[in-house]
Chains A and B, each alone.
Chain A
Amino acid sequence: MRKSIHIMLLILCLPVLLAAQTSLPHTNKAARLYHNGDLFVARNEIEYAILSDVENDHAYTWYVRGFIYKEIYKKIEKQSKLSENREIAVESIKKSLQLDRTGKYLENNQKGIEYLATTYYNDAVLLVESVTEDDYGRPLISYDNYKSTTRIIQPFEDFSRSDLEFYRMMASAIEEIYLFGAQENPDLLAVAQDFYAQALRIKQDDYTSNYNMAINYYNRGVFLIKGIGYKTEIFELMLIQDECLKLFKESLPFMTKAHQLRPERKETLYGLMAINRALNDYEKSDFYLGKIERLIKEGVIKE
């Protein structure tokens, strides 16, 4: 899995929480405790604050609460992908933004949300990298949290580019699980296909998704054929052929599209040769073989 690391720096200023409000005694106390580093005592105090009708209705109370929980998450729960403190931080800052009619806490609230959204995003990336056969739902949850958290401050954010990349990476990660140890579970390939299909709904001309989708269908067919053994009955052989042909036929338009997008890429030429051969179309298969040989001879592609 080849990845490039895209670094975006987010400068997070420590918010000034000590903007004391005379009518908010619990909140003020919680803010002082926060600044002194007594995070857990601060958390208890801010919970008292939200039980008070007056304090509960103030943007400052939720702002302080959000940052206390964010800091607890940062200090003790950073490794937890299911941190409740982080969820409470997001909800609290969200509520502060709703109550903050003058925009007094807007800038810091936005920074807090940006920070928390980024942690969800990074969790999604790390979870994709370590995804297993049984828990491919976890990166999705983190990625959805990233999007919903971002939308709090950017309701019209276009996620199509990161969606595309996320779906491709999920598909690729699941295929790798299959290839490197779970070959007895071809359903994983179907799961990967669903992710490629989602990626293609975003960008029909995405080379990687088209190519990998084609390979995925093709390999599923080959997997079935490889399962043929001396105990396979002739009628089963006929059924397997029917099933494989369906998969190979599904594969062909995706590989053709990938080839149109990058006509000189040898992998697509090999792919078209293999798919046509699997469809027992020898003329077309030989055509692509001839093309590969010619391009190798001309030095356009390497052997």
Chain B
Amino acid sequence: MMALLGFLSNDVESTQQLDDADTEALFKAKYLYEFAVTSDWPRESKTGPFIVAIYGSSNLFLEMSDRYATKPVGSQKMEIIQVLNLEDLPPCQMLYMSRRTAKELPLVLKHLQGKNTMLVTHIEGPAKPGATINFVIQESKICFEVNLKEARKRKIVIGSKLIQWAIKS
């Protein structure tokens, strides 16, 4: 007697696992790092750690912490913090606010008044006053636009490399 071993003889759900990494967070984490290392902040912002505050995206906070925390930004070390409540926002060189928190922009701007903080947003449409850099989706791709006037107001010099890759400045 000879047994014939079977492959998947019934309609079997032998399915692979989806990699559950947050692709948007992975890209944005790298962008934020590039925004930090290719731009220049005024002298008063160059002491202590280089703080990147993340508001409204835990995944981005985790990716930034995992990949870029403690990386050098000039003579400073990058430190990533998660902002859960705007009232607790500490002084920082960069603040990212997610798409889902866009409606809180006026409140954020109030907090950042007179500060040399680069505000990075992801707001669709033309109106995003106060944002230094804004993420936009163009042909499914995450791109960014730079507001040089806003950068100047906050005494931040945007690197030429960034300006070159920005979709409009």
Say whether A associates with B.
yes
| Chain A residues within 8 Å of B, Cβ to Cβ | 1-12, 115, 118-119, 121-122, 125-126, 128, 162, 165-166, 168-169, 172, 175, 179, 207-208, 211-212, 215-216, 218-219, 221-223, 225-226, 228-230, 232, 234-235, 237-238, 241-242, 244-245, 249, 267, 270-271, 274, 277-282
Given A4-B10, A232-B30, A281-B140, decide whether A218 and B18 contact each other with a Cβ distance below 8 A. Answer: yes
User: Does B6 contact A5, Cβ atoms closer than 8 Å?
Assistant: yes
Closest chain A CB from B23 CB (angstroms): 4
Chain B residues whose CB sits within 8 angstroms of the CB of A237 once the complex forms: 27, 30-31, 34
Q: Is the CB of B5 within 8 A of A277?
A: no
Chain A positions within 8 Å of B1 at CB level: 9-12
Q: Which residues of A are found within 8 Å of B141, using beta-carbon distances?
A: 238, 241-242, 245, 280
- Whether the pair A230, B71 counts as a contact (CB closer than 8 A) is yes
User: Provided the pairs A172-B16, A219-B19, A223-B19 are in contact, do residues A125 and B26 lie with their beta carbons within 8 angstroms?
Assistant: no
Distance from B133 Cβ to chain A, minimum over Cβ atoms (Å): 13
Size of the B side of the interface (Cβ < 8 Å), in residues, is: 41
Contact call A2/B19, Cβ cutoff below 8 A: no
Q: Is the CB of B2 within 8 A of A228?
A: no
Q: Are B16 and A245 in contact (CB under 8 A)?
A: no
Cβ contact within 8 Å between A218 and B24:
no
Decide: A118 near B4, CB < 8 A? Known: A277-B23, A280-B137. yes
What B residues does A165 contact at CB under 8 A?
6-9
Dominant SS among interface residues on chain A: helix
Q: Is the CB of B15 within 8 A of A222?
A: no
Residues from 50 to 75 in B contacting A, C-beta threshold 8 Å:
67-68, 71
User: Once the chains are docked, how many angstroms separate the CA of A168 from the CA of B10?
Assistant: 12
B161, CB-defined interface residue at 8 Å: yes
Q: Is the beta-carbon distance between B18 and A270 smaller than 8 angstroms? A: yes
Contact of A121 among B5, B14, B165 (CB under 8 A): B5
Q: What are some 15 contacts across the A-B interface (CB < 8 A)?
A: A4-B10, A5-B5, A7-B4, A7-B6, A9-B1, A208-B15, A218-B18, A225-B27, A230-B67, A234-B161, A237-B31, A238-B165, A241-B141, A245-B140, A277-B23
